[in-house]
Structure 1
């Protein structure tokens, strides 16, 4: 009887264990199904995860860990960032002894991503570093690579490129050593994006080629199309328009094979600038029609505005200035509503130029003023963002690099002051804290001032030629015109255009073209007076501002500048090539002219100089 009782008890326990095992298998299978489909309908599967949460305590710890990792990842996709932070805090505080190291790392990554999305930069970096430390300690190299990539991307977004590159290259070497093609492909993709964000476009190209080759070898045509699309974007940035068109057509072809309609539309839209640069207007129109139909169905007003902006550009080229103006007036409110200042600035400048071409200088000037206001706001915002990022990085560095020697000295000092009276202890503590606070505040303010000053200078200087950029030289012209009007002083300007620059660029490449631009700018800077101002308007166009100078005096200066330009030579493949330029010179009519009138007359004179055979200047 006793043996029979023991047998029944054992059989019942086995039945319970078998049932529990089956339930755990069922949960893991359902979680696996959810994980494979979560990208298609995140809200639907997040609802199912919330249903499963009620029955979670009856499952084993490994199934629970799988559930919570998937739940956090899905909540991040749903942008429920604060919920994720609260959930991870709860999991780490209440279940620390039951969580595996892998699960802790994945939860820390989720929390770091959520804090990053909420702008809590310093806290996010600390979480990523905790996750990295645990991954290294547990020798989980796959997770270590994931965290290194996250840290590299985040430091890149903070413009801390040296540290970002260090993390990403460390991830690259580790992935290579593991011979894990999938992990290595993820790192290659991140490095491509990192260098593109850093504007080192040439460095990003080989990494995007590697991701393309990987996906093609695996038969992942949609992912391969994304890599090729990124190569097209890079080619556009490098002004290699023929190659950009080829890349976007390849991306479109891959998207067509898998029926990826959005991929086709985006490739068509991004191809348009390259087609316009290549004067292939009919193909650009066809691509815009495809993109318009897709984005119209998607009710994507921002992308529709981008389509219309390109159509306006084509209208301007065809001389349909009023059509372009009407289109751009429809586009502008969309960008104003979405707070896209870069796009607002571009559209305002296009409207100003279209009005000028349509013989409406008053409206042209009105919209140019709005453009100038937005540009100033952009420069100010950029400076503030860079300062904030650097401040956050600086604070993190202070925490990350604590001085151990200083800590020892402070500990020793604390032991000494314990023997003194309470009042003396308080006074010394206040003095030390005050000094440290003053030093920190002064240092912090100095860093902010230095970074702000540096960023403001960079924002007004052309990177290639190291002279004033378009924004700076136009601001200088506006200031000079105001001064001339106020004090009735003479003012002359000259607009220069390097002769046959496009042919030179196409024949010898962009690197040689860049040498020409830089050498021309340096020659101009050496030839002008200390009171004059020179800046690059864009492309091969430059403007010289000559305050307190009549047109006759300007002619004297031009008689010195033009021979200096003709004497300029560029050595290409062992041969010397001479550089020439055409210029238009004019004097400001104080009583009857606006800034745009002055600029327009100089531009007209430049046109006459080029029509008359180039390598000369004309006066208007």
Structure 2
């Protein structure tokens, strides 16, 4: 029984040691710079689109084609950093995501497919594909929970919460955004936590609590400025301006909008035009209608219907300013454009404003029946929003004042404390027994570890002997041909050059006959040492016959191989052979070949043998190629 237990323990130790060697093998494939860029894309965002392009190009160059794990990270990073300033670019980004999803479709659900889908939904939102985006987000969030990927869970909730906030569904928005915030903070991802906090503040502003929103936004602005993140600081400056606008601090809001507009005028003209729209709305509130109209008309040159979200508010504000200028037909036309855009986005807030403004226009034009219908539509939408708000408030109250849950948690804490006391008591009583057991187990593990180490050492020695030439201590025939097959297969698959040098000692039979086999053995050992010193790291030299050697040169073209062969012949010819035996001289002849279209290794070796024969026929101490 004891022997059986020791054997089981031995297997555990061997498995552990094997895992260590495996980890060492994996770590041998380290790529520090590529991993650093990948980590940057995961935990942060490049400071500018130009830096993103530069990092993506560097990452692509740094990753080997067969490094599949890092290639997936490159694909993910490239998807998230596509240009998306025009409708055509957005469609191109979605097309790229779909193409990659088709490639990885057999692995659904997986981290790469979930991440690519989240990437795709971020572009779908820009095209106003609300229903499709929400459905895709719900699906990938469920998939992320299935494979237990907390970062992807957080990204999914954050995206969905942002979309709900834009639609005016504040209850669902706050639930998603708060869930995302908890995940980001538990993962210690400060950058994404700050981005999500900005969206949370925006939801509070849209809900009507601009004061709370402004508090969070000012904190984020200070963080971004301190860290030198100018793009993020500009984004939060726009959000601060929106909160100030809601608090009726219109001059301060316009000042901030102008700062962001100036920052973005050359970098992102669409967002810059969006700032003009916000400034114009404030000018309307200040009674400066003509200045507002000019800004809105200028923005129309950039904000076309393909940019659905800013276009909807552009048309709404145009309708409002035309109404203020008593131009009712133009106002109703713009209002119709705004309504169509808000319907596409399912933006209930915007629709409510459209109906109210339409009612005011009809009333001013004394179209009382139309004014009544528009006002009724406004009240219908407004009541639906109020219902959503009440749902949200109930959810908050339940979360904050759920006394039953708190009581249950307190009961669990008390029970946990009692369990801990019982455990401590048991540990105290069994302390001596534990020490004895640990000591015995430690002794057994030490003995088994020593045995396992010896077995591993012997196995390594046997393996080395099986692949090593006993005399010269270089690769034997079997190992040389095995490595040659590997190099040839790699060369075929990746279309890289592969060359080999086939050489043997000239007049070696005379050395054995005249000076004896001992001297002959010393010559062979010396030839192996010289060849080992001549070759580069990654090349392999092996003895495949009595006086025959092969040098394997992966990723080497014929010209480089000929240069190495000539250097080998020169080094051997100039060697002080008298050290081994007086008046002894030794040269070699070599045949050099490079892989072209040979079907197998035998054909390549046959060409090398033919080239060697030609070198012998040329008078020996020559290099020939076939």
TM-score between both structures, scaled by the size of structure 1: 0.43
Name the larger-Rg structure: 2
TM-score between both structures, scaled by the size of structure 2: 0.43
